[in-house]
Amino acid sequence: MALYQHFQDGVPWYLARHYWWAYLWKRSIWFFDHQPIINAILFGHYRKLQAMTLPHVTTEPTHRVLQLTCVYGELTGKLLQRLPQGMFIVDACTAQMQLAQTRTASIGHPLHCVRLNAESLSFADNSFDQIIVFFLFHEMPHDARERSIAEIARVLRPGGSIILSEYAPLPEQHLLYRFPLTRWILGRLEPFLPDFWRHDIKVSFDESLHIHGKSIAAESRAYCFNSFYRVTSFQIK
């Protein structure tokens, strides 16, 4: 029995197969949830990316906000501090949700944790005003990514917004990509990143939103680390 198969309890196959060591093993959850480690994974740009993401968060007290899967570090707490009405967070891993609850318990705003696969959200159509996705899509195979985008398009209300913090498109001129060894290491640690680099996310959102009678009304993009990372905000109508 392969080691990753011990972590397949209700989680997507690709999460267990390729990322058990980062998200599912309790010892690794403790290890990775330290600011220096998180910052190193993002080549020193975690706080920068967080600072680029937070200004897009809604300030409307009646808005329903969904964070699509848990993340290590301070982001969930920073989001919750801005949302006295609380917010929802979904993840396929119970241990990750427990960590999120522990880290945010002192804030005093409700965090509604629901164990779900991002590819199949059990929320009604048009349930949320804002959906936040922080470095999730590059860890999914293409078909799973498309299904998650389709679910976001379904549960997001017209007039709502999507905040997507991720790798930017194929960074052909970036030193980390041009240097064969670092490109190989990135591909080994992040097996779905090469496909994500070439995936036109906006086209996928356009197609999925159209199915539900919605469309992108406006888009903003901001880059950092010489266009290696990007924060995108889509306003939906």
pLDDT digits (tens, 9 = 90+) for 12-46: 999 999 999 999 999 999 999 999 999 999 999 99
Between CA 60 and CA 114 the distance in angstroms is 23
Residue 114 pairs with which residues in a beta bridge? 90
Query: What confidence tier does 100 reach under pLDDT thresholds 50, 70, 90?
Result: very high
Length of the chain: 237
**Average pLDDT over the chain, rounded to whole?**
97
| 29 lies in some domain | no
**What Cα–Cα distance (Å) separates residue 95 from each residue in 18, 19, 60, 107, 120?**
17, 14, 30, 20, 20
**What Cα–Cα distance (Å) separates residue 155 from each residue in 65, 92, 117, 137, 195?**
11, 18, 14, 17, 25
Query: What confidence tier does 232 reach under pLDDT thresholds 50, 70, 90?
Result: very high
Per-residue pLDDT at 227: 98
Query: Which residue, among 103, 138, 133, has the nearest Cα to 121 in the 3D structure?
Result: 133
| 111 lies in some domain | yes
Per-residue pLDDT at 216: 99
| 37 lies in some domain | no
| 18 lies in some domain | no
pLDDT digits (tens, 9 = 90+) for 72-92: 999 999 999 999 999 999 999
pLDDT digits (tens, 9 = 90+) for 103-147: 999 999 999 999 999 999 999 999 999 999 999 999 999 999 999
Pairing of the two strands 128-134 and 229-236: unpaired
| 21 lies in some domain | no
Long-range Cβ contacts of 144-148 (<8 Å, 24+ apart)? 144/12, 144/14, 144/119, 145/192, 145/196, 145/199, 145/204, 146/204, 146/208, 147/119, 147/120, 148/68, 148/118, 148/119
Between CA 115 and CA 132 the distance in angstroms is 17
| 7 lies in some domain | no
Query: What confidence tier does 202 reach under pLDDT thresholds 50, 70, 90?
Result: very high
Domain carrying residue 137? 44-236
| 20 lies in some domain | no
* pLDDT over 80 (residue 164): yes
Residue 144 belongs to a domain with what CATH number? 3.40.50.150
Per-residue pLDDT at 1: 76
Look at phi and psi of residue 225 and say left if phi exceeds 0, alpha if psi is from -120 to 50, else beta. left
pLDDT digits (tens, 9 = 90+) for 207-216: 999 999 999 9
Per-residue pLDDT at 39: 96
Total domain count, the chain: 1
| 202 lies in some domain | yes
